[in-house]
Amino acid sequence: MNPTDLRFLADESCDFAVVRALRAEGYEVIAVSEFMQRSNDAALIAQADVEKLILLTEDKDFGWLVFASRAQAKGVILIRFPGNARNTLAQTVCHVVKEQGLKLLQAFVVIQPGHIRITQLPPQKAERAQSS
């Protein structure tokens, strides 16, 4: 898979080591912390969807947004690493991105030390209308 196939939006809670590591691998990563402070979660997920970016976050609220509120998303990666495991964080995220590739699209992914969970996101509004 070509790194340009996947693009990311890292919210303010995302450890910047992840941003640097993915960029070093050739992925496009837009880091919110480089151009904005105190972003709005709903606005970020909408921006990521419009720009076809997978959202990188450590904020559990995005799970509520995509599942309970049915916010549209190209994909979300929720990073859950405790302080004692953060030395492997960036390497682990890069590994998951390389290994899972396009499976990350239209999915809610939780990455924890030694564990990854991929859940397909609810169908987008347009997809739901077509299938009805």
- The predicted-structure confidence for 12-31, as pLDDT tens digits, reads as follows 989 999 999 999 999 999 99
Higher pLDDT, residue 70 or 45: 45
Domain boundaries, the chain: 3-131
- Given the candidates 1.10.30, 3.40.1010, 3.30.420, 3.40.50, the CATH classification of the domain at 3-131 is 3.40.50
Give the C-alpha separation, 22 to 96, whole Å: 11
**Cα three-residue angle 82-89-83, rounded to 5 degrees:** 25
Is the pLDDT at 43 greater than 60? The verdict is: yes
Range 50-68 average pLDDT: 82
pTM across the whole model: 0.85
Single-letter amino acid code for the residue at 51: E
> What average pLDDT does the structure give for the chain?
84
Is the pLDDT at 37 greater than 80? The verdict is: no
Is the pLDDT at 39 greater than 70? The verdict is: yes
